[in-house]
Amino acid sequence: MADSRPIAIITGATSGIGAAYGDKLASQGYDLVLTGRRMDVLSQRAHDLELKHHVNIYTEYLELGDEASLDDFINKYKDNPRISFLVNNAGYGNRKRFLDDNIDRQLEMVDVHNKSVAKIVHAFYPTLNKQESASLVNVSSMMGFYALPGTSMYSATKAFLILFTKAVALENTNPHLRIQVLCPGLTRTDFHINAPLADKNMKNRFIVRWMKPDQVVKISWKALRRGQIQCIPGFFNKLTVLLLKLVPDGLFNWIAKKIV
Ligand SMILES: NC(=O)c1ccc[n+]([C@@H]2O[C@H](COP(=O)([O-])OP(=O)(O)OC[C@H]3O[C@@H](n4cnc5c(N)ncnc54)[C@H](OP(=O)(O)O)[C@@H]3O)[C@@H](O)[C@H]2O)c1
């Protein structure tokens, strides 16, 4: 890593939002460290991005549920003085309802969505803090605002990311380090193919509107420039969050139990 370009780290960059963030950051002249587990897909993506944007891309196999591998990854990169952008994006959807599932498998989501992010943020903050300009994005979800049957761990871990990121952003006193929690709504990615409880049709219905990963990233990017801490991409997603805040809890729970 001898170049002088800034480096962006993106976890879960194999597909979807992480891959779109990779494209955006490479187009802005960042070298990239991309993590994932489908290494054949990740290597091909890295190769394509190098050809398209003429930057250096490094790929790392990283299972975020494996603490020893996570620690190795953190120790390898945390003091690299070129790291100036970090996207904690990796995540997955519920495979089973909480009460029907094995508890260890359910708790794995806490490790992947929360414990790993907290460790990464804590470890990389000193390096990000030293940069003339740096950014940290934690990818949560609109589901972090709601509890529905079948989303126990997903909603709870995403809610953690919203509050955690907001509080860290408030603790941060460096105006050159922008911190954002990104809360996408439905986005057409592999997420919905891999999560059995998700909607595989990915079709628009009423105010249910699907976005493309590059649209999500474009909005996140603009919000970062504005210094916005919480970013809900898309008009319909913002509207949904706003309208559902007005619905009394009891009514929301009654409807949720009926329709999900
Ligand atoms: N798609 C949506 O509708 C939506 C909505 C709101 C929020 N989000 C959030 O957006 C983020 C990105 O998801 P996406 O929609 O872009 O889905 P995606 O295309 O399935 O990408 C998920 C990425 O996370 C990685 N990943 C999953 N589990 C992992 C683990 N245990 N350890 C390490 N890496 C892991 C995957 O790696 P491999 O594929 O290489 O295994 C992949 O690179 C997630 O945090 C998700 O919760 C998605």
Ligand 1 cavity residues, CB under 6 Å? 12-18, 36-38, 62-65, 89-92, 112, 139, 141, 184, 186-187, 189-191, 194, 213
Q: Given pLDDT bands bounded at 50, 70 and 90, which one contains residue 205? A: confident
Tens digits of residue pLDDT in 101-142: 999 999 999 999 999 999 999 999 999 999 999 999 999 999
Give the span between the Cα atoms of 158 and 29, in whole angstroms: 30
Tell me, in angstroms, the distance from the centre of ligand 1 to residue 189's CA: 8
Tell me, in angstroms, the distance from the centre of ligand 1 to residue 89's CA: 7
Give the span between the Cα atoms of 205 and 217, in whole angstroms: 23
- The region of weakest confidence among 64-73, 184-193, 198-207 is 198-207
- Model pLDDT, residue 2: 52
In whole numbers, what is the pLDDT of the chain averaged over residues? 94
- Model pLDDT, residue 206: 72
Q: Given pLDDT bands bounded at 50, 70 and 90, which one contains residue 197? A: low
Mutational test site, ligand 1, from 191, 200, 214, max ligand atoms within 8 Å of CB: 191
Q: Given pLDDT bands bounded at 50, 70 and 90, which one contains residue 87? A: very high
Q: Which atom of ligand 1 is nearest to the CA of 113?
A: 45
- List of domains in the chain: 7-259 (3.40.50.720)
Do residues 26 and 57 lie in contact, with contact meaning Cβ atoms separated by under 8 Å?
A: yes
Mutational test site, ligand 1, from 67, 74, 92, 117, max ligand atoms within 8 Å of CB: 92
Asked whether residue 201 carries a pLDDT value surpassing 90, the answer given is no
Tens digits of residue pLDDT in 22-56: 999 999 999 999 999 999 999 999 999 999 999 99
The residue whose CA is least distant from atom 23 of ligand 1 is 12
Tell me, in angstroms, the distance from the centre of ligand 1 to residue 174's CA: 29
- Model pLDDT, residue 202: 73
Tell me, in angstroms, the distance from the centre of ligand 1 to residue 105's CA: 17
